[in-house]
Amino acid sequence: MSPVVPRRRALAAMAIAALLVPLAACGNDSKKDSGEEKSGAAPRTELTVLAASSLTDVFKTAGAAYEKEHPGTKLTFSFAGSQELAAQVKQGAPADALVTADTKTMDGLKADAGRSTVIAKNRLVIATGEGNPKKIGGLKDLTGSKLKVVLAAPEVPVGRYSKQVLDAQKLSVHPVSQEPNVRAVLSKVELGEADAGIVYKTDAATASGKVDAVDIPDAQNAVAAYPAATLKTSEHGAAAAAFVKWLSTPEAQKILRQAGFQKP
């Protein structure tokens, strides 16, 4: 075989290799352009918000609205009785913001939370079985010995408000159980395990068609305030503050009003 042939093959191979180098570079650039190797993109911020049980439904709606308006933020809510949330904060649970159903609980966390802002208010109602089979007309009827009444525990905000209104009317009620949060009270009535219970107006509204709500006159009622604050241990202080501030905006307030909460 002529020595010219191998030489031609070698030159051809070198030419092909030279062509492949820029193509490979283009492939890498394409990969970067496709977003597979993007750098410098803003990281997604995940906020954990501890919130009172009575905010369960409305905050799911509010959270979806906030995430739509702030696509770089994801909200995760943890709902429980305010006293339980306070205990979690004091134990150092990782969270970014807190919303309680009373100012007393929030005031007890001054060392752990920033300055709070009341974002909404609420009132109490008497929840009864659908159709109000026991014909309960007001607070006085809850003293009946044959009536099964369930209340929230006194350390729970709604339990404390309930005791406040009953004591003001000098009424003695002996509950069959004391629950850890307002949703547990509502559930007992909804399931027929209790004839009546004192809950927030907004909670009774979430079970429309399953329970009836008997209004308590304003003169006999209590007003629940919902303060919101950032937590000092938050790793996303600016984002948490932005969410807390948003809760007072017209958009957020409209969502709260539609759910039955009152103006701050």
pLDDT in tens, 214-248: 999 999 999 999 999 999 999 999 999 999 999 99
State if pTM tops 0.95: no
Please give the average per-residue pLDDT across 88-93, as a whole number. 96
pLDDT at 20: 39
pLDDT at 98: 98
The answer to whether 128 and 189 are in contact (CB under 8 A) is yes
pLDDT at 44: 85
pLDDT at 39: 41
Domain residue spans of the chain = 45-121+225-258, 123-223
Per-residue DSSP letter, 264: -
pLDDT in tens, 63-74: 999 999 999 999
Domains 45-121+225-258 and 123-223 share a fold: yes
pLDDT in tens, 94-130: 999 999 999 999 999 999 999 999 999 999 999 999 9
- The per-residue DSSP string of 70-126 comes to -TTEEEEEEEE-HHHHHHHHHTT---SEEE-SSHHHHHTTTTTB---EEEEEEEEEE
CATH pick for 123-223 out of 3.10.20.600, 3.40.190.10, 3.30.70.20, 3.40.50.720 = 3.40.190.10
For the chain, the average pLDDT equals 88
pLDDT at 249: 98
Phi and psi at 11, nearest 5°, equal -65, -35
Fold for the domain defined by 45-121+225-258: D-Maltodextrin-Binding Protein; domain 2 (3.40.190)
The answer to whether 93 and 220 are in contact (CB under 8 A) is no
